[in-house]
Structure 1
Amino acid sequence: MKLTYRGIQYDYNPPKVETVESKAGGKYRGWDWRFRNLKNPPVLQPRVNLQYRGVRYQTPGTVANNGVASEKAPTLVSSQDKARSRMSKQQRVLKNRQLSMLYRSATEVGLATR
């Protein structure tokens, strides 16, 4: 496909993704739907060192160290830490809800003013 951007023409060939329909599916509001799985995983694009207006940058997934690309270290989070984080978030949400309901009822009774 021929495209033009700011007067420069280039060819764009979008990747073709082959899928296989899975058995899971159904009907929603009169429309049939099915899950589709990829036949082949997509090919990742190579990381590139780029420059924009004199500033060097790299594609996602790399960190620049004095112009040298290095991989980001993956941060692993244990399932216990995830569970603890979810529980504390849930408790904060519950506490905020309780406080807002308490404040509303206090203003309705006349104990607090806005």
Structure 2
Amino acid sequence: MQEKKPWLLETLLFEGFERLFSFLLKLPSENRRLMKIISTLVNDQPPCPQLYLYSTSDKVIPFRSVESFIDEQRGRGREVLSFNFRTSPHVDHYRTFPSTYASLLQSFLEGCLVKVKKT
């Protein structure tokens, strides 16, 4: 029974925050501001390689949104690398999979340095 309480509390808090943010982001002034930020993120990315580390199990940022953004960036001709950790919660990839995370990051940064040295 005691194990269910944190899960129930987490579910209730998540539902409450989801409803609150859904309401707040529909306010005209906030919606305009959010659309401007999203437009900037999609259209004004620098021409450098991008790395997206995400998880299907993330309860804060839906993995389909991340994958959609990745597809959008690739469609614009940008070099995008990505990895879905599948089971790690939001911003917990390093703690859950430290060696995989470190290896992906090291490989990405080494690839960036090779490109910089060529220019």
Flag whether TM exceeds 0.5 (same fold). Answer: no
Select the structure of larger CA radius of gyration.
1
Larger RCO, structure (CA 8 Å, separation 6 or more): 2
Q: Which has the higher strand share?
A: 1
Using the size of structure 1 for normalisation, the TM-score is 0.26
